[in-house]
């Protein structure tokens, strides 16, 4: 169920519940940049997210340059965004927030 | 000393001592892709590298998609490649190899 591609309307609704995430022009992924004080804090965040992602069996596409982490989420098998992407986004926001 | 920009000749020599790394067209960075069996192994590698990078105070630019880790190394302050980049590359190769 959670791996079913969401409709455009459902994506817009789910996105409204998030802060700082942007929808790709093609509607197929969401992205956010997280900025920390230093590398140590950025990688600590990535480590928490990695554990959550592995548990969900749903993994981010992400890059890291020193204190910055760029994340893109989509569900490859579904060819777009699913509930899993928004669940992972919320988890990241929660870890980022505190 | 280790943060001094290397000459083209020194870069070519250092690169010859590495496996699988390629020099950017502009000569300003080196890059390698590491592929693992799954996300867990990819992130375990990243974690070991993160600890080494923090200790060296020299950090990679890298991205991760599931079982693949793409790394680019250069020394921003020096405007090119330094001994630090090749030290970090060797550390990564060692962790990857065993």
- Domains, chain B, in order of start with CATH, read 8-97 (3.30.1360.20)
Contact A39 B54 (CB under 8 A): yes
- How far is B94 from chain A, CA to nearest CA, in Å? 21
Residue B87 pLDDT > 60: yes
Contact B40 A46 (CB under 8 A): no
pLDDT tens per residue, range A45-81:
999 999 999 999 999 999 999 999 999 999 999 999 9
Q: What is the pLDDT of residue A1?
A: 57
ipTM: 0.94
| Cross-strand pairs, B23 | B30
The alpha carbon of B15 is separated from its chain's Cα centroid by a whole number of angstroms, namely 11
């Amino acid at each position: 169920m959670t791996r079913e591609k969401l409709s455009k309307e459902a994506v817009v609704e789910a996105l409204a519940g998030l802060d700082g995430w942007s929808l790709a022009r093609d509607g197929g992924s969401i992205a956010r940049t997280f900025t920390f004080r230093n590398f140590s804090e950025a990688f600590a965040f990535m480590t928490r997210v990695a554990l959550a992602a592995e548990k969900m069996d749903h993994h981010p596409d992400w890059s890291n340059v020193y204190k910055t982490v760029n994340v893109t989420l989509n569900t490859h098998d579904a060819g777009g965004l699913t509930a899993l992407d928004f669940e992972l986004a919320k988890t990241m926001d929660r870890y980022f927030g505190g």
